[in-house]
Structure 1
Amino acid sequence: MALGTTAAVALTGLTGHVVEVQAQLAASVPGFTLVGLPDTALHESRERVRAAVLSTGIKWPHRKITVNLSPASLRKSGSSFDVAIAIAVLAGDGVVPAAGLDRVVHLAELGLDGRLQPVRGVLPAVAAAVEAGCRDVVVATADGDEARLVPGARVHAASTLAEVVLLHGGELAELPVADPVRPSRQPVARRAPGDLAEVVGQAQARVALEVAAAGGHHLLLVGPPGAGKTMLAARLPGILPDLTPAEAVEVTSVHSVAGTFDPGNGLLTRPPFEDPHHTATPAAIVGGGSGLARPGAVSRAHRGVLLLDEAPEFPSRVLETLRQPLEQGELVLHRSGGAARYPARFQLVLAANPCPCGMATVNKGLDCSCTPMAKRRYFGRLSGPLLDRVDLQVDVLPVTRAERTARSAGESSARVAHRVAEARGAARDRLAGTPWTTNAEVPGRWLRERSLDPGVLRPIEQMVDRGVLSLRGADRVLRIAWTHADLAGRAEPTADDVSAAVTMRTRGSHG
């Protein structure tokens, strides 16, 4: 009886667990058994491993092979265990020296011809391996750049199983000639955010966009078709600050698990942007899939922007799934394969028409053909609890002739981004020593404990008394006022800041 041991990593959400892969070869009736809570894709690795070993020119051991994935109580999924299983079997058969293999992590799928295929989630998996003390990692050539982004990792990229055998000191009678590696995962192209200088007019909406960026606030834009709602929203990522190193690793890990990361460009250092179509399902928005859930749009937008264009057209059950991540900044998705936790601290931008025909705010509403009931039903798809969590709610009116013919262009994204960075710096200094870094994260109790002039807060208190603002809405007005003051370079909000915050919160007459 012989035993070979190496290591792999099982991912649960973004959390990686080092798994010991043991292969026992016994002199008994030939067979291949895989234990340790593997899913269907992992069960199929038995056939992939056998075919890959034979294609490499190595004789398959005709013995009773039992492969155990430890800890056995942890569910394992996916094809990233293939190479680890193959090396453990070959170590047990004496083809590969067994010494030291137990501290080497293997992360790659095997093709039937012995080629190593890339897998998802390499970045968080390698990070978990290094944290556990396993610095030597073997990955497919296509995943080499991504794995090398993890500090402290000694990455060995290979294109075939034969290269892995030779790397570990094994000997081959003849080195097989493999076809060039063709990565099976294609990165998703990301479009440029565009420049704010391209936006004509819309002074009020531009201010709201800048306030949203400076404070990390959620934003609702309501206006007729063609007013520029989507154009404005798509430029929000361009005025946000770069991600911090810790945020970059976190965001990149999410996109690695989702399979949308291009390692050739290094870590993602700019805020991501997601704009799903209104026909998207709840699983596409929050994440889903059989076994363990994959990240959805809200997690891929982590530390960036999630735009729901034509928001009232989204099914209500999709919109209501946003309430938890808006409050908690993360999602815990329970599936048959276990629970996966993904971060989801994003800025939500909702763009909507004022009514089904979109003309309720054009020409004093004279061109609108919608009945009052149709208007209420249409905008009522955005529930009160959801809208109450959106700090900024502004109208985007049609561009006037004077704005269209003006020769001076609006401010560029670069200039606005500079002010946003300074405002965020002021908020970060004020919030030093707290768990928060932006005004949008600050809880209402902390805001109310800040001593402000009673005259400054009086308009907010009056609107709460009249029922125009909820208590949560009052706290959000305070947050906006602090952000407005940060942009103006003031130490604390004034009456003008509060007045501007109320205007940007209540959409004027639509409050």
Structure 2
Amino acid sequence: MLVKVYGSAVFGVDATTITIEVNVASGIGYHLVGLPDNAVKESSYRITAALQNNGYKLPGKKIIVNMAPADLRKEGSAYDLSFAMGILAASEQIKAINISEYIIMGELSLDGSLQPIKGALPIAIQAKKEGFKGFILPEQNAREAAIVSGLDVFGISNIKEVIDFFHSGKQLKPTIINTRETFFQDLDNLEHDFADVKGQESIKRCMEIAAAGGHNIILIGPPGAGKTMLAKRLPSILPPMTLQEALETTKIHSVAGRIKDNVGLLAQRPFRSPHHTISDVALVGGGGYPQPGEISLSHNGVLFLDELPEFKRSVLEVMRQPLEDREVTISRARFTVTYPSSFMLVASMNPSPGGYFNDPDAPVSSSSYEMQRYLGKISGPLLDRIDIHIEVTPVPFDKLSEERKGESSKSIRERVSKARSIQSERFQDLENVHYNAQIGPRQIREHCQLDDASKTLLKTAMEKLNLSARAYDRILKVSRTIADLAGSSQIQGEHISEAIQYRSLDREGWLG
């Protein structure tokens, strides 16, 4: 007897429905076709044990399982439940008249219990799009899939529940969540707060400007100055995610299997901080069967690279194109996948191999040559994509011992959101520009016009401080953001003056 069961495969951040045809006929043997990988091929052992431990058996006949379309490679163990239900129905051990109305996915344990799967959200989106009645999957993924309205999502813990549902008509309880209500409840649950940071008022101001304009930023300072602490709090002052951004972010984390059990929509902007030993494939994504990398997992959030010069040069260079295009395309012989990667880059570094500025009182001193060589590990083209460079100095004792808390992330976020709304209105006619960091030369000429006094100030600064040519556009973009924070339609001299301070690495003789 021939039975068709439906599963799904994830490519990039989208799902493709897979038709699983199971034919049980006279003969002997178990044949699985349709480009399955090793994890899929091993499913027969898990299915055999799971059925035996729940009062059923793998029939001693010729079983052919075809996964269509047969030219797409299938990977992972999430098809176990689909195969098992197809085999039971095709061997007439159970009645399953309406089995074709559901997407069925899940990895089986030997006792018949189910393990979570990857990509539940994109699978649910595709299932609704194709008109399936429901989605049967492990209970750990149920809240994630239930984000999609108009689709019955059944989270189950054991294969026996699915068998009883189709064979005996025993009802399963659908998982229902109010997506909007849950999302807006979690928006203000901030893990870190700028109120915890003592001192460093100038750096907080710099982080506020970076958040308001979406500018990439690098923090340069000795160990213990608070670079990591400040970076971790940057997501807390970024504007709250929109529902669309949350859906995009959740899809990527779902595909990568990074969503915790029983978690629905991600409401907080991601913060990713990979170790400096990371490979280029792990950073941008890829592999034999492509998976999203750290730059995609930080989509709509922050990617923090601590101790930037310690990263391999090849790893840093592969970020250049995604930083410009805000997406990364991974090509293989048979297919191409594209992952979104619109993130804010926050980098930190010590000013020298010893960790300190060129200071005779520093615990470890480095020569100017050693410091220049250390900084030379970061290429000019990468620095070109970082708008703000700021020096972070250690916090003095009297600031550390203060009882008074600093300004909260909530109040800073309000100013940042107001500035972002100004930018959204300004760039509403441009498809790929939403905030100041994304503008090109044409928009700079249009929106960053200076009066004569400001032009003179900028010219003087560039000549006296020996600022590089690449600093010119960056200063204009940052000064535009500073003006937006101040509610000024025109860039003023004080906005230019402040922006000039944030180009430390462009100054000749910065190292003394």
Return the TM-score normalized by structure 1: 0.88
What amino acid maps onto 1:443 in structure 2?
G
Matched to 2:415, the amino acid is R
2:507 is the counterpart of 1:510: no
2: CA distance between counterparts of 1:248 and 1:192?
15
CA shift, 1:129, in A, is 1.6
Please state how far the C-alpha of 1:452 moved relative to its aligned partner: 2.1
1:488-503 superposed matches below 5 A: 488-503=486-501
Aligned to 2:227: 229
Identify which of 327, 342, 349 aligns with 1:345: 342
Distance 2:231 2:16 in 1: 39
Change (3 A) 1:132 1:109: same
Conservation of the 8 A alpha-carbon contact between 2:216 and 2:386: yes
- 2:488 partner SS: coil
Distance 1:263 1:501 in 2: 44
Instruction: Give the C-alpha shift of residue 451 in structure 1.
Output: 7.0
- Give the equivalent residue in structure 2 for 1:11: 10
Matched, 1:154 2:152: yes
Q: Does the Cα contact within 8 Å between 2:358 and 2:367 map onto a contact in 1?
A: no
Tell me what 2:438 maps to.
Answer: 441
CA contact (8 A) 1:12 1:341 kept: no
| Deviation (angstroms), 1:220 | 0.4
Q: In the alignment, is the contact (CA less than 8 A) between 1:30 and 1:64 conserved in 2?
A: yes
Report deviation, 1:17: 0.4
Residue 378 in structure 1 maps to residue 374 in structure 2: yes
Q: Report Cα offsets for 1:248-306 as digits up to 9, x if no partner.
A: 111112222222212534311111111122222323322344x4122222222111111
Q: Which residue of 1 aligns with 2:25?
A: 26
The letter of the residue matching 1:236 is: L
The Cα of 1:334 is off from its aligned counterpart by 4.1
Residue 410 of structure 1 aligns with an amino acid whose one-letter code is G
Instruction: Report percent identity of matched pairs.
Output: 38
SS in 1 for 2:429: coil
Letter in 2 for 1:510: W
**Greater alpha carbon shift after TM alignment, 398-407 vs 43-52:** 398-407
Task: Tell me if the contact between 2:358 and 2:365 (Cα under 8 Å) persists in the aligned partners.
Answer: no
Residues 448 and 476, structure 2, Cα contact 8 Å, conserved in 1: no
2:365 corresponding residue in structure 1: 369
Change (3 A) 1:394 1:108: same
Distance 1:463 1:22, change over 3 A: farther
Could you tell me how far apart the structure 1 residues matched to 2:28 and 2:401 are?
82
Query: Any residues of structure 2 matched to 1:52-131 within 5 Å, and which?
Result: 52-131=50-129
Question: By how many angstroms is 1:339 displaced?
Answer: 3.9
Cα deviation, 1:45-90, whole Å, max 9, x if unaligned, reads: 1222233223322242222211111111211111111111122222
Question: CA contact under 8 A between 2:58 and 2:87: conserved in structure 1?
Answer: no
Give the superposition deviation at 1:442: 2.3
C-alpha separation in 2, matches of 1:410 and 1:388 = 32
State the Cα distance separating 1:425 from its structure 2 match.
Answer: 1.3
| Alpha-carbon distance in structure 2 between the residues aligned to 1:104 and 1:329 | 36
- State yes or no: 1:468 paired with 2:464: no
State the alpha-carbon separation in 2 of the partners of residues 160 and 420 from structure 1: 48
Say whether 1:432 aligns with 2:431: no
CA positional deviation for 1:449: 3.0
Instruction: Report deviation, 1:479.
Output: 2.0
Structure 1 residues 69 and 212, CA, compared in 2 at 3 Å: closer, same or farther?
same
1:237-316 equivalent positions in 2, closer than 5 A: 237-289=235-287, 291-316=288-313
Q: Which moved more, 1:191-200 or 1:399-408?
A: 399-408
Alpha-carbon contact 2:461-2:500 (below 8 Å) kept:
no
Q: For 1:298, give the aligned amino acid.
A: I
What 5-or-longer segments of structure 2 have no aligned partner? 171-188
One-letter identity of the residue aligned with 1:256:
S
Aligned residues of 1:81 and 1:107 also touching (Cα < 8 A): yes
Q: 1:61 to 1:444 in 2, by over 3 A?
A: same
In 2 relative to 1, CA 478–131 (structure 1 residues): closer, same or farther, beyond 3 Å? farther
Is residue 309–residue 350 contact of structure 1 (8 Å, CA) maintained in 2?
Answer: yes
- Structure 1 stretch displaced more, 408-417 or 64-73: 408-417
User: After alignment, is 209-218 or 367-376 more displaced?
Assistant: 367-376
2:414 corresponds, among 418, 426, 448, to 418
Deviation of the 1:20 alpha carbon: 0.9
CA contact (8 A) 1:224 1:362 kept: no
- C-alpha contact 1:4 1:90 (8 A) present in aligned 2: no
What SS does the aligned partner of 1:267 have? coil
Q: Which of residues 322, 327, 344 in structure 2 aligns to 1:330?
A: 327
Note the C-alpha offset of 1:103.
Answer: 3.0
1:510 match: secondary structure: coil
Please give the root-mean-square deviation of Cα atoms over the aligned residues, in Å: 2.7
Q: Which moved more, 1:499-508 or 1:130-139?
A: 499-508
Distance 2:490 2:78 in 1: 53
Query: Hey, what's the Cα distance between the residues in 2 that align with 1:406 and 1:322?
Result: 40
Aligned residue pairs: how many? 488
Structure 1 pair 90/458, CA: closer, same or farther in 2 (3 Å)? farther
Cα distance between partner residues in 2 of 1:45 and 1:243: 40
Correspondence list, 1:207-218, <5 A = 207-218=205-216
Q: Give the Å deviation of 1:391.
A: 0.9
Q: Cα gap change, 1:133/1:492 in structure 2, threshold over 3 Å: closer, same or farther?
A: farther
Query: Normalised by the size of structure 2, how large is the TM-score?
Result: 0.88
State the secondary structure of the residue aligned to 1:22.
strand
Evaluate the alpha carbon distance shift between residue 370 and residue 59 of structure 1 in structure 2; reply closer, same or farther with a 3 A threshold: closer
Q: Give 1:100 shift.
A: 3.2
Alpha-carbon separation, structure 2, partners of 1:16 and 1:336 = 20
Secondary structure of 1:200's match?
Answer: coil
Q: How does 1:157-236 map to 2 (within 5 A)?
A: 157-169=155-167, 193-236=191-234
Tell me if the contact between 2:143 and 2:263 (Cα under 8 Å) persists in the aligned partners. no
1:169/1:474 Cα in 2 relative to 1: closer, same or farther (>3 Å)? farther
Contact between 2:195 and 2:408, CA under 8 Å: does it hold in 1? yes
Cα gap change, 1:463 to 1:341, in 2 (>3 Å)? farther
- SS of corresponding position for 2:258: coil
Give 1:66's aligned amino acid: I
Partner of 1:392: 388
Q: Which residue of 2 aligns with 1:319?
A: 316
Distance in 2 between the 1:451 and 1:420 partners?
A: 19
One-letter amino acid of the structure 2 residue matched with residue 437 of structure 1 = H
Give the C-alpha shift of residue 21 in structure 1.
Answer: 0.9
Q: What are structure 1's unaligned runs of at least 5 residues?
A: 173-190
Q: Which amino acid aligns with 1:433?
A: D
2:356 is equivalent to residue 359 of structure 1: yes
